[in-house]
Every structure is written in structure tokens, then in C-alpha cells.
Amino acid sequence: MASKVRLYVDHPLGEGQSVPLSREQAHYLFGVMRLTEGTVLSLINGVDGEWDAEIVKAGKKGGILLCTNQTRPLQMPPDLWLLFAPIRKERTAFIVEKAVEMGVSRVCPVQTDFTQSANRIRQDKLQAHAVEAAEQCGGTFVPPVDDLAKLDRLLADWPSGRQLMFCDEILIGDPVGLPQIAGPWAILIGPEGGFSQAERDRLRALPFAHPVSLGPRILRADTAAVAALTVWQQALGDWA
């Protein structure tokens, strides 16, 4: 019997590989989803693609799954980072979830001059949101979610060859103007209060930073993240 359940596990996957379940995973599969021995579900680990696995042992405190066959190979997203200033808890979680669904390779919360929710960030919780998003959207890769970092430090240590799409709200109404440069990219979304003038001046002076507009209206930070990812994916990503 097959199920529609997809589960992320921190364990190698391969033909004939047994996968032990934690107490929490066993509770979810057997207590919440009511799966039983013999049921087949889908497993991902962010490395080995997607595998069918049969439940061979089900218990209240644990269980064992057995991988049978690979159903999808690992599909990597474009080499795209999303840098964003944290906002309210549920909206920050939304940004992480949509970033995973839309295809990024790394999620980077950043502290800017006007960031107001930096003290509420928990990296482990955001990483769990990324895992859940991959489970639900059919993804086989889970991007890492970094700890909060100061924007000025990230810019000072910026890797050579990576372009930065800097979404600048003062360009409202201008054409998007995203340069067609192949290779690694990142997108930077500001906080609810926007970027400070000092940050804007510094970004505009960087040769790898490209200020762009996101259309004729000012967008909320979480909406801006989705809009920016859409613009980039259609122009330079794997949607093109």
C-alpha cells in the first residue's frame, strides 16, 4: 500500500538501505498519519534524491523503513542565495518556505540598520520550516538556512563572481532592469522600514550589486521576496 507522505530523514538512502525513525518521526507516521507496516512512503535527505521506502517495523517510540527504489534523482536549484531582513515570526517563516518552493540554494537572514525582529530569529526553527517546505512541494534538496548575520559583514566577505540583485524601493515604477549575467547570484530584500541611506550608498558603490525595481507599487517584505524570486527565476533561473 502506497501513501502520499513524504518525509525528510537525516540518513543515507539507497536500495536495500534501512532507515531508523526517531520517536518524533514514529509519532508522526504511526500516531498522526496512521500508517502501518507494509505502507510505502517517500523519503528525501537532501542528497540522494527521492526514494520509496516500506515500513517494516512500526512502534510508539520508533520504527524502521526499508528503501526499495529511487523515484527521482536529486534536483539541485540554481546557485541563488536569498538574503532578507527578518520580519514578524510567521512572515519570516513564509519567506523561508517560499524560497524553498521557488528554488534557492541558500537562505541568509541579515541584520540591516532598520531590522526590527533580529532578536526573534531561531535558526533551527527556520531550518525546520525549510525541511517542511521541501517535503510538501516535492523538492529533493533542502537549502541551508544560515544564522543571522550583519549585512555589512556579508558584503565585506562577498565571494568573487557572485552577482547581487539589490531590490531598492526608491526605484518604484522604474523598469526592473535585471542584467543578463550568467553565474552565481543572490537577491537582497530589505526590512519593513527599507534600507538606510548609508546602506543604499554602499550597495550602489559595489560593482557586483545591481539595484532593481519590483514594479509600480511598494511591496511588503514577504511579498517582495516572492516577486524578486519570480523575476530572477524567469530571467536567469530554471524557469526560463
pLDDT digits (tens, 9 = 90+) for 96-149: 999 999 999 999 999 999 988 666 789 999 999 999 999 999 999 999 999 999
pLDDT of residue 192: 84
Neighbours of 44 (CB within 10 A): 25
Is pLDDT at 175 greater than 90 in this prediction? no
pLDDT of residue 4: 87
Q: Are strands 63-72 and 18-21 parallel, antiparallel or unpaired?
A: antiparallel
Q: How many residues does the chain have?
A: 240
pLDDT of residue 81: 98
Contact criterion met (CB below 8 Å) for 26 and 63:
yes
Integer Cα distance of 91 and 97 in angstroms? 10
Q: Is 114 helix (H, G, I), strand (E, B) or coil?
A: coil
pLDDT of residue 174: 74
Integer Cα distance of 113 and 107 in angstroms? 19
Is pLDDT at 67 greater than 90 in this prediction? yes
Cell numbers that stand for 134 in this block? 521541501
Q: Which one-letter amino acid corresponds to residue 115?
A: T
Contact criterion met (CB below 8 Å) for 212 and 178:
yes
The single-letter DSSP state of residue 67 is: E
Is pLDDT at 178 greater than 80 in this prediction? yes
With both helix axes pointing from N to C terminus, report the angle between 89-102 and 221-236 in degrees, rounded to the nearest 10: 10
Integer Cα distance of 8 and 45 in angstroms? 5
pLDDT digits (tens, 9 = 90+) for 188-231: 999 888 899 999 999 999 999 999 998 888 899 999 999 999 99
Q: CA triplet 72, 24, 121: central angle to 5 degrees? A: 85
User: In the sheet where 2-8 sits, what is the strand order?
Assistant: 2-8, 40-44, 50-58, 63-72, 18-21
Q: Domains plus CATH for the chain?
A: 2-72 (2.40.240.20), 80-236 (3.40.1280.10)
Please list, in sequence order, all residues whose beta carbon lies within 8 angstroms of the beta carbon of residue 140, skipping any fewer than 6 positions away: 44, 46, 49, 50, 72, 73, 74, 75, 134
Integer Cα distance of 186 and 103 in angstroms? 12
